[in-house]
Amino acid sequence: MSHHYSMVAKHVNNIQAEDKIFAANREAVNAAAMYGKEQVINATVGAILDDEEKLAVMPTVMEVLRNIPDTEYAAYAPIAGTPDFLEAAVSAAFKDSRPEGFIKAVATPGGSGALRHTIWNYSDIGDTILTSDWFWGPYKTLAEENLRKLGVFSYFDKDKKFNLASFKEKSSELLARQDSLVILLNSPAHNPTGFALTGEEWLQLLEVLKHQAADGTKKITLLCDIAYIDYAGPSGRDFMKHLSNLPENLLIVVAYSVSKSLTMYGLRTGAAIGLSANKDVVQEFYDVCQASNRGTWSNGTRCGMKLLSTIMHDSEILLQVEAERKELEQLLVERAAVFTEEAKQIGLDTCPYKAGFFVTIPAIQPGDACDRLKKDNIFAVPLTRGIRFAICSVPAVKLSGVPQKIKNAIG
Amino acid sequence: MSHHYSMVAKHVNNIQAEDKIFAANREAVNAAAMYGKEQVINATVGAILDDEEKLAVMPTVMEVLRNIPDTEYAAYAPIAGTPDFLEAAVSAAFKDSRPEGFIKAVATPGGSGALRHTIWNYSDIGDTILTSDWFWGPYKTLAEENLRKLGVFSYFDKDKKFNLASFKEKSSELLARQDSLVILLNSPAHNPTGFALTGEEWLQLLEVLKHQAADGTKKITLLCDIAYIDYAGPSGRDFMKHLSNLPENLLIVVAYSVSKSLTMYGLRTGAAIGLSANKDVVQEFYDVCQASNRGTWSNGTRCGMKLLSTIMHDSEILLQVEAERKELEQLLVERAAVFTEEAKQIGLDTCPYKAGFFVTIPAIQPGDACDRLKKDNIFAVPLTRGIRFAICSVPAVKLSGVPQKIKNAIG
């Protein structure tokens, strides 16, 4: 009876069977059910598992969440977010490195919501959004869902440093044909590679943008995706001071999320934080993001907002949370050391890892390589030109030998 | 130093200072702080307050939520939603009135997310979305954010029945110039009027749509916004049986939300439920909504999903929740009786209320009338042609005399 009939509108180009990351995770979960957890390495999803392979939840965070009053779960949050949350999100994002300038935040579901609002409001339909060639796959989904394209520059030069020349070339190329340019930059603890720009590289990048903004004809928005910043070591926020006093047509948006910072991925709590030397630009940012909230998902998860604001307003609780997070960061450091040292020994090339949840291995045919790894019960995520391996979810004891198996799978 | 400078893209037309509903609520909250709660009537937000004017939280719902395991708060949900939630959402939406046909659901943040995905995927940019002339204000925000317009038909005829002729005229007019038509229909317990179509009126509406769909050249999507259905009495779901066996180019989307059904507004949990006699159409619906999830807010609040699925999978808990909800519904029935009976006595015209959270009073200059009401410390929401009064949040004892004050304010 049923025949192939399509109901969707002509512009809908974004049909896909299943998200690659969650699909790979599903396969890994099935394999663990079949062969036993100890036989399976599930390096798919970006969530920290402890050394017993249980989802790491910080006890203090959970205790604060459990003690939130009933109404803070039940009630609607204001469309823009509760004021105490917005203040807390700005503090948590910048900590001691708050740039000078006007700053206003709007609550969004995780960092994804901040990306959506920035793409939607600060580029034109049909525009190309710019990011690095190694990127989190959903950047493309976010661009395409909103009828933009995603263009890339080479993130690394031949010395595995920030490729300023490529960034300059690609951004200039796009600005030559677009009125506006939205750039998605994920640093530090970059997903998927673990890369971070140095302070010097940040200055160079901003010099390029200031030069491009200089004649005032173009509108440039630099979205700093700092999803993993709380796992990037003590210097992770050093770049923020460079974001002060930029030209008014160079807007900074910081995508902040509690997903990783509080390991509360499922609460969908985050913020889009606008920063500009021009007060109007930041007020406009707040206004359009608030309207965009109402026009997409209405408002945010109130208990997640209360969770962050409670933690940020009590210095004792905050210290405890930071200590617990430090332990998780230490897990990542250990796991990364095991992986990258073996990789070095056996000559497996990796992208330049500095910190974070993932290590990425370049590969010509990543899909095939990931399929071969599945036969060893190793599950990772195929990217366009490599394999993303989530060290965040694999205990150190399971990691030795993995680089060799990856090397074999790449062939 | 600062001068007026705009950074947003040209298509962004959706800047507004503050959402009207939340703005009116803020004023009411301020007045209560200044004059005392007992002096202020806050009839702004669509959330049930008990007779002590505290947010009504169902004890059993809260207990289930408190007992959800840590990881069900912390972990990411799959992009489309957890399978047990999606099953529970379909059961909760249709109960014993599940239509025949293929049905697939995708998790969304409340009903708003379901509206966004339906507008985005099933109409063209620039299209006019159709709804009733009395409508929830954010329908317009949702349309405009997504670069659609909002058009209206007259919901009521002169006898305060469903205005079939107007519905037919406006939908035909739009279909004459558009390839597709998305209709947002909020019934039963309509926000803002409390109206519901009768079974007979539903049949007539569907006959119109089937006729319009008959030659197969047009794509029609009827979104049934059932946000308040669990407060619409035992016959609230009777219309659902008429949704079986519709033509393949007439898609039904049900926007389901736990916000009101579980009085858990702040968890942002809901679902877009697609229904069609054609399997491919429903699969496509699932696919595009899943992709849209990833391209806007990524995934949903996991604890909200677990909350609903826990309740729906335990018949004893479900019975308790339904009993507690029945008490809340009874509050609404009492309050509506007080309001509408006085209105009748004093000759204050209201829209045809049958059930739900709101009573609406037609007014020529609703903004002015609401401003005058503020002087009596009565806070309600000005609509285009009337005043929305949230009986859900005002105890019965405070209601007597209010219709007279509204009559005076309208002048």
CATH of the domain at A398: 3.90.1150.10
The domain that holds B194 is classified in CATH as: 3.40.640.10
- Residue A5 has a pLDDT of 87
| Residues 94 through 123 of chain B touching chain A, CB cutoff 8 Å | 108-110, 112-113, 116, 120-123
* Domain-located, residue A67: no
Spans of chain A below 70 pLDDT: 1-3, 14-18
Q: In which residue are the tokens 């047990």 written?
A: B84
Show residues of chain A in contact with B282, CB under 8 Å. none
Per-residue pLDDT for B1 more than 50?
no
CB contact under 8 A, A76 and B285: no
Among B281, B313, B345, give the residue marking a domain's end.
Answer: B313
Band (pLDDT 50/70/90 cuts) for residue B2 is: very low
- Residue A387 has a pLDDT of 97
* Domain-located, residue B15: no
Spell out the residues 6+ positions from residue A36 whose beta carbon is closer than 8 angstroms to its own.
none
User: What was the ipTM of the complex prediction?
Assistant: 0.96
Per-residue pLDDT for B3 more than 60?
no
Residues forming a β-bridge with A105:
A273
Does B151 share its domain with B278? yes
Mean pLDDT of B67-79: 96
- Residue A400 has a pLDDT of 94
* Domain-located, residue B68: no
- Residue A2 has a pLDDT of 44
By CB neighbour count within 10 A (0-12 exposed, 13-18 middle, 19+ buried), where does B161 fall?
A: middle
Does A41 share its domain with A104? no
- Residue A287 has a pLDDT of 95
CB contact under 8 A, A14 and B79: no
The three-state secondary structure class of A252 is strand
Kindly state the tokens that stand for A330.
Answer: 């230490």
By CB neighbour count within 10 A (0-12 exposed, 13-18 middle, 19+ buried), where does A23 fall?
A: middle
Residues in chain B: 411
Show residues of chain B in contact with A113, CB under 8 Å. 296-298
On whether any CB of chain A is under 8 Å from the CB of B23, the answer is: no
Count of domains forming chain A: 2
Instruction: Provide the residue range defining the domain that includes A34.
Output: 20-58+318-410
Among A288, A313, A338, give the residue marking a domain's end.
Answer: A313
- Residue B13 has a pLDDT of 72
CB contact under 8 A, A62 and B75: no
On whether any CB of chain B is under 8 Å from the CB of A62, the answer is: yes
The three-state secondary structure class of A249 is coil
What single DSSP character describes residue B5?
-
Does A113 share its domain with A133? yes
Mean pLDDT of B327-352: 98
Does A259 share its domain with A373? no
Does B172 share its domain with B203? yes
Among A295, A313, A331, give the residue marking a domain's end.
Answer: A313
Structural contact between residues A56 and A220, judged by C-beta atoms closer than 8 angstroms: no
Mean pLDDT of B187-204: 98
- By C-alpha distance, the chain B residue nearest A252 is B7
Distance of CA A217 to the CA centre of its chain: 30
Alpha-carbon span B105 to A169, nearest angstrom: 44
Alpha-carbon span B157 to B155, nearest angstrom: 7
Q: What percent of chain B has pLDDT over 70?
A: 98
Does B156 share its domain with B283? yes
Does B28 share its domain with B148? no
Structural contact between residues A245 and A209, judged by C-beta atoms closer than 8 angstroms: no
Does B283 share its domain with B329? no
Show residues of chain A in contact with B71, CB under 8 Å. 54-55, 57
Of B79, B142, B279, the CB nearest to A295: B142
* Domain-located, residue A129: yes
Does A98 share its domain with A184? yes
In Å, the largest CA–CA distance within chain B is 65
Mean pLDDT of B149-158: 98
Per-residue pLDDT for B323 more than 60?
yes
Does A301 share its domain with A323? no
On whether any CB of chain B is under 8 Å from the CB of A193, the answer is: no
Band (pLDDT 50/70/90 cuts) for residue B22 is: confident
| Residues 266 through 325 of chain B touching chain A, CB cutoff 8 Å | 266-268, 276, 278-281, 284-285, 287-288, 290-292, 294-303
Does A26 share its domain with A40? yes
* Domain-located, residue A384: yes
Spell out the residues 6+ positions from residue B179 whose beta carbon is closer than 8 angstroms to its own.
A10, B124, B217, B218, B219
Alpha-carbon span B190 to B188, nearest angstrom: 5
Among B131, B201, B133, residue whose Cα is nearest residue B161: B201
Band (pLDDT 50/70/90 cuts) for residue B14 is: low
pLDDT in tens, A28-69: 999 999 999 999 999 998 899 999 999 999 999 999 999 999
On whether any CB of chain A is under 8 Å from the CB of B244, the answer is: no
- Residue A385 has a pLDDT of 93
